[in-house]
Copies of this chain bind each other. A is one copy, B any other.
Amino acid sequence: MTTAYNRKKQPEAVRRALLDCATKLAGEWGLTALTVQAVADAAGVTKGGLFHHFPNKQALIDAVAADLLDQFDAEIDAYMAKDDHPYGRFTRAYVEANFNNQGFGIGSPMAAMAISLITNPDMNRAWLKWLAERLRRHYDTDNAPILEIVRLAADGAWTAHLMGAAEVLSTSPDDLRLRLLALTLDN
């Protein structure tokens, strides 16, 4: 058995593993059911080892949240760069990111984690701050009420799929995505 005692020290890799395992476990079982013991075990480290990297559980969770938000932000930017129509550009990127199951979107492993972060009262401030900043930045192109409705519907679709409402919805994810995108074009 190769414990972290024998193998080469690689603190950055361990820290990374702790973050990834925390994300994965929270996604599978919910943020509530997340225990530091389980995270440490999954990362192949003892609890003491975990507490060496993070002063307490909250700090671990905060780090995970920041990590996820960064990824989401980058994803949005990537979509926007590929879009050369100004009006509704942010909204379209937002829709795409919400549906893209490689990142945060429907069916992605991080999705369940993300919703825990959103619904956790202490946790959603970072998200709100991010959104407010984005909306301010894209005010000129994405301020129309219909665009807000599109973004809210994307949120709703995302949540619905997390809840396993896929079979309940009469529109397929891809169809829904295309229809939402279409609504951002007719101004």
List the interface of chain A (C-beta within 8 A of B): 30, 32, 115-116, 118-121, 124, 127-128, 131-132, 135, 143, 145-146, 148-157, 159-160, 163-165, 167-171, 175-176, 179-180, 183
Contact = CB atoms under 8 A, between A and B. Distances in A.
A169 B148 contact: yes
Q: Which of A120, A148, A167 has the most CB of B within 10 A?
A: A148
B148 A176 contact: yes
Given A124-B163, A153-B152, A131 B168 contact: yes
Contact of A170 (B118, B120, B148): B148
A175 B131 CA distance: 20
A170 B143 CA distance: 7
Contacts of A132: 167-168
Contacts of A32: 32
Contacts of A148: 169-171, 176
A9 B150 CA distance: 54
Given A118-B159, A127-B163, A131-B168, 5 more contacts: A30-B120, A149-B176, A152-B153, A152-B176, A155-B160
B149 A180 contact: yes
A163 B118 CA distance: 7
Given A143-B170, A175-B145, A157 B152 contact: yes
Contacts of A152: 152-153, 155-157, 160, 176
B165 A131 contact: yes
A169 B136 CA distance: 11
A150 to B, nearest CB: 8
Q: Which of A157, A163, A165 has the most CB of B within 10 A?
A: A163
